[in-house]
Structure 1
Amino acid sequence: MTETTASAPVHEKAIRRGDSFTDLLLSWRLWWRHSVCASVNQADVIEQRREEAVISARYLFMLAMSAGIAVLGLLLSSPAVVIGAMLLSPLMGPIIGLGFSLATGDFGWLRKSAKALAIGTVISIGFTALIVALSPIQTVTEEIAARTRPNLFDLFVALFSALAGAYAMIRGREGTVVGVAIATALMPPLAVVGFGLATFNWTVFSGALLLYVTNLITIALTATVMARLYGFRTNLTHNQTRFQDIIVIAAFMGLAVPLGLSLNQIRKEALFSRQTSAAISDNFPDNARVSSIEIEFEGQPVGVVATVLTPEIAPRAQELVQRRLARFLGEPVAVSIEQFKVGTSATAAEEAQLAAARAQAQEATDREIRDLVELLALVAGVAEDDVLVDRDNRRALVNAAPLDGAELLAYRELEQRIARRVPDWSITLVPPARTLPEITVTEDGPDAEGQRSIELVEWAGTRIAAPIEVTGSDDDVLQVRRLLAANGLATVPKEGGSPGRVRLRWAPPDTPAVDLPREEDVEPRETP
């Protein structure tokens, strides 16, 4: 009896504490509904969101401009240009409209927003893919690579940015949306998707697409939650609202799984990089310096290439490092360590590091030359030993083998095509002595077609060591010879032929050239 009487006040106090918490929660909800939600002009907010979530001429124009700026910034690896594309942010309107229409149950608005978003996405990918396909630059830059491996942190960035953006739109603080557009970066990932499509790079394509979908879904669903939180009127029933909540949670969980796996992979790679650096350092003296470490995680097995400047060569270092890393990773690792013996002074180490850098630059140059020689030999139809390369002056020369059906124009186009691929080199492709074109001449000199023929003859004549026979009327021959002589070509005049057409052909290499007559020795042509 005593125990029951003693415990009764304790139980009553617990009930009172529970009642006070319930009252506090109820008062907070009343305050939120009457003081915060009531201060929002829902009709005005919805009207503004509707205007930004439809297809219009302005929307399509800003979409194309944003996509173009984004892909050019990515190709140039210019963060400033990429940020310029983020500032336009034409896709934010349909995405936020998607979120608000979900919250209010306005399925007509939902269809319009989804249509604008789908068309905008397709246009952006197609336009950026077209620019990349026409661009001479198609390398994966740092700005492109940064958007191919989304992780869980990207989800949180999109979440927090979307919370700020939805709040700014609801409370009428539109300026904040600019910062949200930069943080979520919708257009640059789409531009990377277009890059992956144009270059048939599935890794780039899929990684950037996952980042874009992550930002899109996170912003839309966060806008839905914020609209519900601020009490926007809805046409949904209680069961539909509960189903909507389940969909939102499931979507976030579905995104979190692959992004979490990606983040875990990045964590493993960072940990392996630290272990690699420690393993290499532990096998060399304290005054040794690790000049560079390159890790290829995509290879099978994982590859490690390192350069070490050390006062003492460690003959078993590569074997010991490989064994230690294989134990840590649980699978084979290919390790290559290049050691440079240096003195113990800091100056000697710096000099050795410079020497290693020069060696790497030399290796890159050698690789470039090998690729160029292989290309020239393939195009010219000769062996690689027949390609002459002047490394210091960056010049290359090759004598092309006769190709069936190929005229001089085809050889010139081949030379120009190679020159465009290696703009830092001077390329000379010597063609076989194929038939020279005729030159059509008027009283004022060669016509347009004749001028193009003259340019082709000049190109061939500077490469083939043989004089050129020029046959035609005296005046026409003289005009053509003077044009060719201006480029240092030796010519031999021949009589015959009708006026207005000059025939050219290669003379035997030992044929002596004929000097041009002086101006005063040439009789002026009589005017009829």
Structure 2
Amino acid sequence: MSITLLKPDNPVVAWWRARVIASVDHVEVVEKVRDEAGFTGRYAFMTLMSAGIAVLGLLLSSPAVVIGAMLISPLMGPIIGLGFGLATFDWDEIRTACISLALGVVIAVLFTALLVLVSPIQNVTAEIAARTRPNLFDLLVALFSALAGAYAMIRGRAGTVVGVAIATALMPPIAVVGFGLATWNWTVFAGSLLLFLTNLITIAVAAAVVARLYGFGSHLSPQHTMLQTIVVTVTLSAFAIPLGLVLVQLGWEANASRQIREVIGAEFEGAARLSQVDIDYQRDPIRVSATVLTPRVRTDVDRRAAATLTQLIGRKVAIELEQIRVGTGAQAEAAQVAAAQASSASAANRVALRAQEQLALIAGVKPDAVLLDRDNRRAVVNAAPLPGANLAAYRALEARVATGVQGWSVTLVPPATALPDIAVVEDKPDADALATAIWAARRIKLPIGVSGADAEVVVDALSDAGVDARVTGNGNGAARLRWLAPEATE
């Protein structure tokens, strides 16, 4: 849309100025925009809370929780402020809004990354994946959100509902950026960052256009107006063209998926049914893995279907087809049992891989360094030294992974770092410090020496738990523990 079309001698423009622009209290709107564009304690707190709820909703793949984060997001203020600053060439307003946005984004990304790091769930969920491949529809969402936000601000109808429209386009991508940073998943990080920048710039530019339409920046010269028009056109085109190409690709993939299902299904009789179809469009040739439940197993189906699809789609297709014969009576029951067993095995394999990935991440080692005993559902890893981590931290990390892989025994062997001191009150050792020492001794399998006034009490408690411990000296204060060499107990 070109702002230069609003010529004074145009009757529509004259009506717009007399009836619409004249009804707007420009001074009041500008003051309100400035008040809400700055960085304040409330803005920082609400940004943190919104980002935290958003990342939890993404990890749980819960749209309802993600929407809840939108209800408290304060991002509308500085973004609309940036749009109004661009519309009026108010460099102070632009600087204030940019600082507020930058600080808000930084604390949101770091906070979400921290939450992901301490979370037992670090998988790429459907909600996260949906925000790693932006397309033209995402740009349109941002555009419509900006139009609603700017209109509401000018007309004095700004509020939670309109703020949600702005936050919908920005807070989830920010949370996904934090997820990508925490998990070192640069595909997720780059895709969500592109979506965030696309939405941010689109919203700011659209808000500037609405502000100009409502008479803000009327003092600017025709040269300024022309510059704004060029900036708006170039900016939206720069994002719209590549995002439009992505949308075309998504449409092509949807159509190809339909054709793949139809072609494979046509190779079988009417009673056959496609149970599962997985398609990898990133491979060359396109890789299709499918499972068919059929009363009659057919030969050479893979080759015929692949040849047909190659002609239809225009790209080479490779098909891996698994045919499961089903019929009536015993055959049908056997097929159901086999399907249930396959599903159970697949689920168990996913849990094993999750345990391996999470243990490798917290232990600071490669996944192949994690030992998996799938039959007994056990996972063991020797942790690399982590800067600043004590034995209590390693114990907490092990417990966190164990919570996320129910049914598995998770063992993290920490490095032989310093043991905690154990205070004794009324002949009772501190429970948490004692539990940490017992946990570490069971994993490192070294004897422990104890010194201090209450050394015997602590040694007795450790021995009762099956730990090889001995008194190595007297003293005052809390009992001090240290690792002993195995031969020291002889």
TM-score greater than 0.5 by the shorter chain: yes
* Distance apart, 1:359 and its partner CA: 1.1
Give the TM-score, by structure 2 length.
0.75
Aligned twin of 1:134: 118
Instruction: Specify the code of the residue in structure 2 equivalent to 1:317.
Output: V
Provide the rounded CA distance (Å) in 2 between the counterparts of 1:454 and 1:200. 30
Are residue 124 (structure 1) and residue 103 (structure 2) matched? Answer: no
Aligned to 2:49: 65
Kept in 1: contact 2:74–2:163 (CA 8 A)? no
Contact 2:352 2:374 in 1 (8 A): no
How many angstroms apart in 2 are the aligned matches of 1:306 and 1:422? 33
Is 2:211 the partner of 1:227?
A: yes
The answer for the alignment partner of 2:99 in structure 1 is 115
The TM-score with structure 1 as length reference comes to 0.70
CA distance in 2, matches of 1:121, 1:344: 60
User: Structure 1 residue 327 and structure 2 residue 311: aligned?
Assistant: yes
> Is 1:255 equivalent to 2:239 in the alignment?
yes
CA contact (8 A) 1:87 1:182 kept: no
SS at match of 1:343: coil
CA contact (8 A) 1:103 1:234 kept: no
What is the CA-CA distance between 1:149 and the residue it aligns to?
1.2
Give the drift of 1:391: 4.3
Q: Residue in 2 aligned with 1:362?
A: 345
Per-residue deviation, 1:251: 0.8
Runs (5+) with no aligned partner, structure 1: 1-24, 401-409, 431-436, 469-475, 491-495, 507-528
Choose from 170, 173, 196 the match for 1:212: 196
1:408-445: CA deviation from partner (whole Å, max 9, x where unpaired):
xx999999976764553246899xxxxxx9xx999976
* Rounded Cα–Cα distance in structure 1 between residues aligned with 2:423 and 2:28: 77
Q: Deviations over 1:98-128 (max 9, x none)?
A: 1112222222212222222222222222222
- Higher normalized contact order (CA 8 Å, seq sep 6+, divided by chain length): 2
Determine if contact 2:142/2:203 at 8 Å carries over to the other structure: yes
CA distance in 2, matches of 1:55, 1:294: 47
| Residue 151 (structure 1) aligns with | 135
| 1:352 aligned to which of 310, 335, 343 | 335
CA deviation vs aligned residue, 1:121-150 (integer Å, no higher than 9, x gap): 222222222322333322111111111111
- Check whether the contact 1:168–1:177 (CA below 8 A) recurs between aligned residues: no
Alpha-carbon deviation of 1:310?
A: 0.2
3-state SS, counterpart of residue 88 of structure 1: coil
CA contact (8 A) 2:72 2:160 kept: no
Mind listing any 5+ residue stretches in structure 2 that lack a counterpart?
Answer: 1-8, 383-389, 414-418, 448-454
Whole-Å separation in 2 of the counterparts to 1:308 and 1:195: 37
Which runs of structure 2 are paired with 1:339-488 in the superposition (5 Å)?
Answer: 339-343=323-327, 352-353=335-336, 355-365=338-348, 391=375, 394=377, 421-423=401-403, 424=406, 425-426=408-409, 452=434, 456=438
- CA shift, 1:81, in A, is 2.0
Pick aligned residue for 1:272 from 251, 256, 275: 256
**What amino acid sits opposite 1:108 in the alignment?**
D
Deviation at 1:185, TM superposition (A): 2.8
Shift of 1:505: 12
> In the alignment, what sits opposite 1:28?
12
2:76 corresponds, among 73, 82, 92, to 92
> 1:53–1:113: 8 Å Cα contact kept in structure 2?
yes
Q: Is the 8 A contact 1:82 1:188 kept in 2?
A: yes
Question: Could you tell me which amino acid in structure 1 is paired with residue 115 of structure 2?
Answer: I
Query: Judging changes above 3 Å, is the alpha-carbon distance between structure 1 residues 348 and 234 closer, same or farther for their aligned structure 2 residues?
Result: farther
Retained in 1: the 8 A contact 2:438–2:465? no
Q: For residues 192-244 of structure 1, what are the alpha-carbon distances to aligned partners after superposition, in whole Å with 9 as ceiling and x for unaligned?
A: 11111222222211211121122212211111111111122433211111111
Q: Helix, strand or coil for the counterpart of 1:186?
A: helix
| 1:356 partner letter | A
Q: Give the match's secondary structure for 2:37.
A: coil
**2:5 equivalent in structure 1:** none
Which residue of structure 2 lines up, in the alignment, with residue 236 of structure 1?
A: 220
C-alpha separation in 2, matches of 1:166 and 1:370: 47
* Distance (Å, rounded) in 2 between the aligned partners of 1:498 and 1:210: 62
Distance verdict in 2 for CA 1:339–1:182, change over 3 Å = farther
Deviation at 1:26, TM superposition (A): 3.8
* Residues 373 and 166 of structure 1, relative CA distance in 2, 3 Å threshold: closer
**Which residue is equivalent to 2:158?**
174
Work out the number of aligned pairs and report it. 446
Quote the RMSD (CA, aligned, Å): 4.8
Aligned partners of 2:271 and 2:294 also within 8 Å = yes
Which residue does the alignment assign to 2:38?
Answer: 54
Q: Which amino acid aligns with 1:232?
A: F
Give the whole-Å Cα distance in 1 for the aligned partners of 2:473 and 2:189: 64
1:290 to 267, 274, 298: 274
Contact 1:301 1:334 in 2 (8 A): yes
Q: Percent identity?
A: 50
Distance 1:337 1:57, change over 3 A: same
